[in-house]
Amino acid sequence: MHPSLWREVWTLAGIALASLVLGAITGRYFIVAAIGFGLYIAATLRHIYRLHQWLHHRDGREIPDAGGLWGDVFNEFRKLIKQAGQREDQLTDMLTRFQSAAAAMPDAVVIVSEDDDIEWANPASATLLGIRFPRDTGMRLGNLLRDPELAEYLERHDLTEPLELPSPANAELAVSLQIIPFGSRRKLLLARDITRLVRLEQMRRIFVANVSHEMRTPLTVLTGFLETLRDMKHVRPEELSKHMNTMYDQATRMQRLVDDLLMLSKLETAPPRRHDEVVDVPALLAGLKEQAELLSGEARHRITLETQPGLRLLGSREELHSAFSNLINNAVRYTPAGGEIALRWWADADGARFTVRDTGEGIAPEHIPHLTERFYRVDTARSRASGGTGLGLSIVKHVLLRHDARLDIESEIGKGSTFLCAFPANRVAQAPALVHSQAG
């Protein structure tokens, strides 16, 4: 038996013995025993009362002190309360950590009761779903998010597939929503911002549609001519040569389209360029100027080239060749015969710059922000007729991106356009020297 319990037994036995002795002396056994045991019961009651008072108020007061069995009981209470305090601290700490983690989450998290009443929501729920905590606590989820698709989703039993819908808080955002049952019939509503994904998917669809459309025209022409030739009994040589030329043009057009698409895909998928090659830009431009003169042919544009001698660039020769030739070819193609085209390559404190200035037809301001989009053309029919695929400036944009450079376009209808490629100073391979001019 526990020592404290022994002490109580001995106390009771002592009271009984003392009552017997005093009873024998006084002859009043009952009164003496009643007084002895009464005192014992009173002491016990006092302890119970003190314990009750302490349990009832528990306002930071220390648990009362007592000896014997009651002292043990009080000690056990003291231990239990200390443990409960520690557990409470741990839980509060965990809850605080959970809440701050949920608050920092970019996804919306909403805890919903069995009846779809909102119990808790993190801050992202306001931006993605328009649910604010604590304002909307107790509101029905379906009443707040009035979307028939969502209502149907909430009714569904199989919630494994997420639901994609426009954000109820902002029509420009798209969200993916999922409900996860947890605990005792509660539900966790998770919403993720998928605007970027949806846009990418949309871009992919437009791209595929554009490619198919661009391919279909030359293919239709080609198959048309081939069918005609097949069905013709006698073909005159001059007619055959005319058809052959048209077919050749269409085949070249498809070839260009495929080449440009391959180039774009290579630019997009290749890892970012390091400073791997020192490109002699003046020499590159001198070659491109000659090609531009050939392309100009009968149109006899006045093409000038001004370069800073020895000003070289860290990058990819092949990519820069493609970007610069696209800009120069555009200038030749969109500038009427006899117009001027000025090419310039120089460096200043901010870095190196390449400009192509023409006195061509110019571009209306509303088109300028879209020029680098794939297949974007100001005058589709004209660009196609001249063999354009509408991918040229897209390639330029990607090449410049890979060289940490930017493209600025200035243009005025009827006056001409200037395309500027600005490269950062850390791409310049040689300090600025004398300006060398060359006209042609």
| Position with the least CB separation from Mg ion | 392
CB of 375 to ligand ATP, least distance (A): 8
Partner from ligand ATP, Mg ion, none contacting 389, C-beta within 5 to 8 A by type: ligand ATP
- Mask of contacts with ligand ATP, 280-319, x by CB under 6 A? ----------------------------------------
Strands 406-412 and 416-424: antiparallel
Applying CB under 5 A, among 307, 330, 372, 411 the residue interacting with Mg ion is: 330
Partner from Mg ion, ligand ATP, none contacting 360, C-beta within 5 to 8 A by type: ligand ATP
CB of 397 to ligand ATP, least distance (A): 9
| Position with the least CB separation from ligand ATP | 392
Measured CA to CA, the distance from residue 52 to residue 239 in angstroms comes to 116
Measured CA to CA, the distance from residue 110 to residue 151 in angstroms comes to 16
CB 144 within 8 A of CB 136: yes
Report which DSSP code applies to 329: H
How many C-beta atoms lie closer than 10 Å to residue 54's C-beta?
17
Applying CB under 6 A, among 125, 167, 322, 330 the residue interacting with ligand ATP is: 330
Partner from Mg ion, ligand ATP, none contacting 383, C-beta within 5 to 8 A by type: ligand ATP
How many C-beta atoms lie closer than 10 Å to residue 9's C-beta?
12
Q: For ligand ATP, which stretch binds (CB under 6 A), given 121-129, 211-219, 276-284, 329-337?
A: 329-337
Measured CA to CA, the distance from residue 363 to residue 410 in angstroms comes to 9
Helix ranges (DSSP H) in 105-194: 124-129, 141-144, 148-155
CB 147 within 8 A of CB 159: no
Measured CA to CA, the distance from residue 65 to residue 50 in angstroms comes to 9
Question: Residue 192 or 377: which CB sits closer to Mg ion?
Answer: 377
Helix, strand or coil for residue 434? coil
Per-residue b or e along 137-161, where b marks 16 or more CB atoms closer than 10 Å to that residue's CB: eeeebeebbeeeebeebbeeeeeee
Measured CA to CA, the distance from residue 175 to residue 164 in angstroms comes to 6
Partner from ligand ATP, Mg ion, none contacting 379, C-beta within 5 to 8 A by type: ligand ATP
Question: Residue 273 or 384: which CB sits closer to ligand ATP?
Answer: 384
Judged by CB under 6 A, the chain residues 340 through 399 that form the site for ligand ATP are: 358, 360-361, 363, 371, 376-379, 383, 388-394
Partner from ligand ATP, Mg ion, none contacting 193, C-beta within 5 to 8 A by type: none
Applying CB under 6 A, among 112, 179, 331, 399 the residue interacting with ligand ATP is: 331
Q: For Mg ion, which stretch binds (CB under 5 A), given 118-126, 221-229, 386-394, 412-420?
A: 386-394
Number of residues that bind ligand ATP (CB under 6 A): 23
CB 173 within 8 A of CB 108: no
Contact between 70 and ligand ATP by CB under 6 A: the answer reads: no
Judged by CB under 6 A, the chain residues 244 through 273 that form the site for ligand ATP are: 260
CB 239 within 8 A of CB 247: no
Tell me how far CA of residue 275 lies from CA of 270, 279, 330, in angstroms. 15, 10, 28
Contact between 326 and ligand ATP by CB under 6 A: the answer reads: yes
Of 279, 282, 284, 310, give the one whose Cα is nearest residue 438.
282
Judged by CB under 5 A, the chain residues 13 through 42 that form the site for Mg ion are: none
Report which DSSP code applies to 389: -
Question: Residue 108 or 323: which CB sits closer to ligand ATP?
Answer: 323
Partner from ligand ATP, Mg ion, none contacting 361, C-beta within 5 to 8 A by type: ligand ATP
Report which DSSP code applies to 298: G
For Mg ion, the binding residues (CB under 5 A) are 330, 392
For ligand ATP, the binding residues (CB under 6 A) are 260, 326, 330-331, 334, 358, 360-361, 363, 371, 376-379, 383, 388-394, 417
